[in-house]
Amino acid sequence: MNYHNLTTSDIYQKLNTGENGLDSAEVKKRQLKYGKNELTQKKKVSIISLILHQFKDIMIFILFLAAAISYFVGDIKDTVVILIIVLLNALIGFVQEYRAEKAMEALNKMSSLHATIRRAGHIIQVAATEIIPGDIVILEAGMLVPADLRLTTTHTLKIEEASLTGESHPKNKSSDTLSTENTSLGDRVNMAYKSTIITNGRGEGVVVATGMNTEIGRIAQLLQEDKVKTPLQKRLADFAKKLSFAVIGICIALFIAGWLRGEEPVQMLLTAISVAVAAIPEALPAVITIALALGAKRMVRKNALIRKLPAAETLGSVSYICTDKTGTITQNKMTVSDCWISPEVNKIENLDPMQIMLLGMELNHDVVTTAQKKLKGDPTEIALVAFTRNNQEYKASWQNEFKRAYEFPFDSERKKMTTVYPMNGKWIVVTKGAVEKILEISEAENIDKINTITKEFAEQGKRVLAYAVKVMEELPEEKSVDKFESHLQFIGLVAMIDPPRAEAIEAIANCHTAGIRLVMLTGDHPVTAKAIATATGILQDPSDKIITGTALSALSEQEFEANLESIKVFARVSPEQKLKIVKSLQGRGHFVAVTGDGVNDAPALKRADIGIAMGITGTDVSKEAADMILLDDNFATIVHAVREGRRIFDNIRKFIKYILTGNSGEIWTIFLAPLLGLPIPLIPIQILWINLISDGLPALAFASEPAEEDILKRPPRKTDESIFSGGIVIHVLWVGLLMGAVCLGTQAWAIHTENPKWATMVFTVLSISQMGHALAIRSDIKSLFTMGIFGNRHLIIAVLITIGLQLIVVYLPFFQNIFNTQALTFSELVICLTLSSLVFLFVELEKWTKRRRYNATNLKGDPV
């Protein structure tokens, strides 16, 4: 359908709608008819495919092989048990992945976009998916167009349509009807297409197509997003593969050695396969996803919404935060505190100077009044509207008397906004904006006075705006911004209070102790920025510098590089400068988090290691570009998220340490027994059992381990630091060897004392010593007793359940039959528990020596 050839009224008629939009009965009908405004759903992972996925694993095939071998040698009992273990393994994998999948789905839903539309004459916000043909959509710079629209009004509206036409230069849009029929998409200037980006201006349009019927819908197949793997996931998948080869090598050696020694080959083969299954950390990459997804879910409860999963992992490495001021460090609750009128101002059209100022405030804003009589829009403008409407000299009739003819919207590059209205047969032009920008375009003689008063306000941390006005007899022929924004009469200043957020002060102090550098990048006045930065602790040291965007662009490349890290506040900076700062910091090896809300912030957000968008005031474009969204726009939330990121990483490390050490213990036990002249102590299904119970619950419980106390006192982790740094490899080897030694010691002693239950004892010691290990490695350095035994309730429960399951296998006759176990006497059980606790005690000893070293070298800090 060629909507661009139809006039607005034709379209309204055709779509059975109007300027005021659809009423609620019609909305219901159309929602049923047209469905959701969505592109083909991203492939949802079905439960069946998740279940099948569990069986794709190569290890599962090896296990099936083991089951088949048992079957052919006539050991039906073993076959059944192996199959049950395969199923249980798959079930655990499924439950874990399903939880992760659900957590991610919920997060994606939260970051879906909203649109502002008019229905039944009221402006409302709805999820973009709820839009239907006939809806009237209100467009603003920074938004993504939510559906295909025929534009009905435009004010310097520019749209970037690269996703559709490949043309990256934004197109000027207008609402005029086009006469040519066969214009290409890129030339249909009175249309706006779904998923394109509004870079400038404002406008309105009527929805002509939604979902898959839109132009982008036709090529939507190309838009399926792939799942991104985090750097750690990639590294670990690679590691798991290499380790698998090593383990398979060990198992082949085990098999050959056993065979040569004259062991039964089939039994030896099954043992080798079981060791391979137990020792290969096949679940590692999946469990990392779970830890990240669950961590992301926890972050959202603290108002940090992770959009890209790798961010959950890398947040802990942030070493530099570039934050903006308004709304992030401050509350964005503006109140006008002062209004100063220049004594030079004369009457205009019978209005005295104060009234001109108040009228200017009424005419120059985009605040709308909702059905509930609430003001909605930019907090700065809401403050101005509230101020003027509460003033005695304000005339309520102004609200209906004036109809806007032209406007040149605010953006953070221009730092001003202009509106034009017909008035008494003439035209009134009102501009408001940053003081220096207004001085550039207006005629004022008392510039020094204006600057002094601005500085006075700014020193109190107030945001200062200036107003200028002119009356034109006639409109200029060319309706360009320069024609309107020139030769204005300077009217006066308004100052607004926007108090700092109380929690920002603490969060900034936390950044300092956590070794994270912090800079403020703001569009606001340098003096205001300085006052807020000092009040919140961003500026601390006398050597900390403040610089303005203008001064910054005057610096040479060398000067810029030399000064960069001593500058704590960048005021009146442009988005390009923001990008440059981010790049330079990254070039110096920093891992940079950057906040942004405007459409022009997208490049800096994309470039940043962690791009952070504002949930409340941020534009769609900034949200799309970001890795994380602050649902409350609050700086303190960033610090919470960094803390959580560090915790997630710590817990992943603990988990890896736990799994690998357990596996190493199993290998040592089986491998060393024959070398010491002992029989192989465990039968295949016992090995598989230990693998199942120890990798299951306790491993997952590490994801709930609370953050260690010093988590925000240590410096950020280097991004290239190996996950195995800090002596993990040594730990895995020596504690594994210790486990092996305890097991084999138990075996040797029991055989020596002619205890026929030696195999059950080794089986029990090996599984329970892993539980002791899990408890001991909750901290790298602190003793379990100072941390509190019940600090991680999930782990305690997991450990108790696992011990319970082990006891069931040892004591219930049904299981004794299957697992070849015998009931231990009370004293034998006590001996097993005591021997198992040796691993716990030795790891506690390892931490004790670490603590001694730490306290000796780190005399300044609190002892641990």
The site for ligand ATP (CB under 6 A) is made up of: 324-326, 378, 380-381, 410, 412, 415-417, 432-434, 463, 465, 522-525
Taking alpha carbons only, the member of 419, 422, 417, 427 closest to residue 471 is 427
Look-up: residue for tokens 């221009």? 414
Closest CA relative to residue 165, chosen from 219, 223, 225, 221: 219
Residue 111 vs 328, nearer CB to ligand ATP = 328
Q: What share of the chain is helix, strand, coil (3-state, %, to 5)?
A: 55, 15, 30
Spatial distance between the Cα atoms of 315 and 608, rounded to a whole number of angstroms = 12
Q: Which is nearer to ligand ATP, 141 or 279 (CB)?
A: 141
Task: Write the DSSP assignment of 559-595 as a string of letters.
Answer: HHHHHGGGEEEEES--HHHHHHHHHHHHHTT--EEEE
Cα angle at 700 between 694 and 702, to 5 degrees?
Answer: 100
In eight-state DSSP terms, residue 17 is -
Q: Which residues neighbour 776 within 8 Å (Cβ) at sequence distance 6 or greater?
A: 784, 839, 840, 843, 844, 847
- Surface-to-core class of residue 352, CB atoms within 10 Å of its CB (0-12 exposed, 13-18 middle, 19+ buried): middle
The CB-of-235 to ligand ATP minimum distance in angstroms stands at 37
Of residues 431, 428, 352, the one with CA closest to residue 391: 352
Q: How far is the CB of 595 from ligand ATP (least distance, A)?
A: 9
Cβ of residue 501: shortest distance to ligand ATP, in angstroms?
13
Q: For residues 236 and 585, which CB has a smaller minimum distance to ligand ATP in the complex?
A: 585
Comparing CB distances to ligand ATP, the nearer of 402 and 811 is 402
Residue type, position 381, single letter = E
What DSSP string describes 367-397?
-EE-TTS-EES-HHHHHHHHHHHTSTT--TT
| Identity of the amino acid at 861 | G
A 10 A CB-CB count for 250 gives 17
- At its nearest, how many Å lie between ligand ATP and the CB of residue 465? 5
If the CB atoms of residues 578 and 778 are measured against ligand ATP, the closer one turns out to be 578
**How would you class 606 by CB atoms within 10 Å of its CB: exposed for 0-12, middle for 13-18, buried for 19 or more?**
middle
Closest CA to 195 of 161, 145, 148: 145
Q: Which is nearer to ligand ATP, 434 or 612 (CB)?
A: 434
Q: Give 44's contacts (C-beta < 8 A, 6+ positions apart).
A: 105
CB closer to ligand ATP out of 215 and 601: 601
| Residue closer to ligand ATP (CB basis): 432 or 653 | 432
Q: Which is nearer to ligand ATP, 324 or 609 (CB)?
A: 324
Q: How far is the CB of 439 from ligand ATP (least distance, A)?
A: 12
Radius of gyration of the chain (CA): 34
Enter the tokens of residue 679. Answer: 């029989």
Instruction: Output the smallest distance, CB 363 to ligand ATP, in A.
Output: 12
Where does 165-216 show beta strands of DSSP type E?
171-172, 191-192, 197-209
Nearest approach in angstroms of CB 598 to ligand ATP is: 7
The CA-atom distances, in angstroms, between 454 and each of 302, 451, 548, 778 are 38, 5, 16, 56
Is 324 catalytic? The answer is yes
Residue nearest to ligand ATP (CB): 523
CA distances for 70 relative to 65, 247, 258, 691, 814, angstroms? 9, 22, 18, 19, 20
- Least separation in angstroms between CB 331 and ligand ATP: 12
Q: How far apart are CA 282 and CA 659, in angstroms?
A: 11
Q: How far is the CB of 520 from ligand ATP (least distance, A)?
A: 7
Q: Is the dihedral of CA 536, 538, 540, 545 positive or negative?
A: negative
Any idea which residue has 């912090």 for tokens? 518
Bridge partners (DSSP) listed for residue 320: 517, 592
State the minimum distance, in angstroms, from the CB of residue 171 to ligand ATP.
24
- Buried (b) or exposed (e) across 652-666, using 16+ Cβ within 10 A? bbbbbbbbbbbbbbb
Minimal distance in Å, beta carbon 300 to ligand ATP? Answer: 24
- In the set 324, 601, 627, 780, the catalytic residue is 324
Cβ of residue 411: shortest distance to ligand ATP, in angstroms? 8
**CA separation, residue 825 to residues 43, 277, 375, 681, 757 (Å):** 56, 31, 77, 19, 10
Nearer to ligand ATP, 216 or 573 (CB): 573
The pair of structure tokens assigned to 354 is 């104060």
Phi/psi of residue 555, nearest 5 degrees:
-75, 145
β-partners of residue 629 are 305, 613
> Which residues are annotated as catalytic?
324
